[in-house]
Structure 1
Amino acid sequence: MIDRPLDLDAVRTFVRIAELGSFTRAAEALQTTQAAVSLKLKRLEARLGCRLLERTPRYVQLSAQGAAFLDHAHALMDAHERALAVFVEARQRLTIGISDHVAGPDLPALIARMNAQDPQLLIEIRIASSGDLLQAFDRRELDTVIVRQHLGRRGGTLLAEEQFGWFAAPGWQHRAGEPLPLATLAEPCGVRAMAGQLLDAAGQPWKEIFCGGGVAAVTAAVMAGLGVAALAPRMLPFGAVDVGPRLGLPALPRLPVLLHSRVKSGRPHQALGALAAAFRSAVRG
Structure 2
Amino acid sequence: MATTKAYAPASIGNVSLGFDILGAALAPIDGCLLGDWVSISDAEEFQLSVDGRFADRLPAGTENNIVTRCYNFFQDALAKEGKTKLSISMHLHKALPIGSGLGSSASSIVAAFYALNEHAGSPFDKDSLLLMMGELEGQISGSIHYDNVAPSYLGGMTLMTGQASPVALILPSFDDWYWVACYSGLSVSTAAARSILPQHFDMATCLTFGRQMGVFVDALYRGDKTLAASVMTDVIAEQHRKSLLPHFDEARDFANAQNGLAFGISGSGPTVFAVADDLASAQAIQTWLNDNYIQNEDGFSHVCKIDKAGTRVVSE
User: Would you call these one fold, judging by a TM-score over 0.5?
Assistant: no
Larger helix proportion of the pair: 1
Scaled by the length of structure 1, what TM-score is found?
A: 0.27
Alignment TM-score, normalising by the size of structure 2: 0.25
Higher relative contact order (CA 8 A, sep 6+): 2
